[in-house]
Amino acid sequence: MRKAIIKMCNVLSNVVLVVVVAICIALIVPRFANFEIFTVLSGSMEPTYHVGSVVYINKNVKADAIKVKDPIAFHLENGEIATHRVVKVDKENQQFVTKGDANNAEDIKPIPFKQLIGKAVFTIPLIGYISANIRTTKGIIACTICVIIVILLYALPAILDEKEDDEDASAK
């Protein structure tokens, strides 16, 4: 029975560790390659980008390289950030006309080139929920609990092995 528990603890701790490392890599490593990561907060770009996904934005792309149908991230006048698809590039006035994939009409105001953050290149579903919640008090508590569980899962096999050795020694 103990051997089964030990094996289960080892498997679970390894799975949890791999998942945590994969999420950390997905959220941290791209920043070193000049990518910005944003969590999708609205359904305006569905089905391309679902709410709760993260979108990776290549900040190295300049405004003159953006073409019609490219999804771009940009600063809105109110300071928020949006990701919509380009439906027209007005090089003369240096602005983009954009539209959310799920929206029926183009966005009301064109986006000046200077408000461009970059071009959206790929997305990972659901990770945005983790990214958004990890900074909250509940998120910090959940992360702390996860760390404690992983430590316990790694320590439990050693504790059970030690008890088994003690029982074997006292039986002799």
pLDDT at position 14: 83
pLDDT at position 65: 96
* 8 A C-beta contact, residue 143 and residue 133: no
Quote the strand ranges of the chain, DSSP E.
35-39, 54-58, 71-75, 81-90, 95-99, 111-112, 116-124
Indicate the pTM of the whole model. Answer: 0.73
Contacts of 65 (CB under 8 A, 6+ apart): 119
Q: Which domains does the chain show, CATH number per domain?
A: 1-31+130-161 (no CATH), 34-125 (2.10.109.10)
pLDDT at position 107: 96
pLDDT at position 94: 97
pLDDT tens for residues 39-81? 999 999 999 999 999 999 999 999 999 999 999 999 998 989 9
Q: Which residues of the chain have pLDDT under 50?
A: none
pLDDT at position 23: 79
